[in-house]
Amino acid sequence: MIESDDTRIRPETEQLMSDDRLDPRAIERISGPAWERLREVFTRLNELLLSLSPTVRGELTTIYVKYFGPETGSRPFAVLWMKRASELTLGLSLPEASDVSALTDAPSGCKYAGLTRYLTISAEHPEIPPDLPAWVLQAYEAMRQ
């Protein structure tokens, strides 16, 4: 088990450590016991977002991880909010014409320029929609230069 100044990295998150494209502060944030119910969901979402290109990376700000790469002009195609350990909100830069009923407008406190549709996953209902990989790819392709 790896230790940081104030947070222990749990074995379940050590696989995230192998990919230096995710900000280590994001790993520290989800490593606490409060994140146990959504840690696997975070891991799966992160893997999906980073899988689009070897140059895509996730950078943590205060309450969200933005996913971008040089091919997106450093503009994020996705942002994953981690405000509470009971909920993750993923914003995507889908083309305006995209009408995906499973996605919503921006929830309160989750607005980001260029993102058009949002998915909130709660600890009580941690299911990832089966169509999410296609939506993520569409967002990534829309932001590529």
Q: Which domain holds residue 123?
A: 2-143
Q: What is the pTM of this model?
A: 0.86
* Residues lower than pLDDT 50 in the chain: 1-15, 17-18
pLDDT in tens, 43-61: 999 999 999 999 999 999 9
CA angle 100, 128, 70 (to 5 degrees): 75
CATH number at residue 71: 3.90.1150
Edge-to-edge strand order for the sheet containing 78-84?
Answer: 57-60, 64-68, 78-84, 87-92, 117-122
Residue for token pair 């940081």:
4
Tokens read off for 98 = 């995209």
pLDDT in tens, 2-18: 333 333 334 444 445 44
Phi/psi of residue 83, each to 5°?
A: -75, -35
User: What is the domain count for the chain?
Assistant: 1
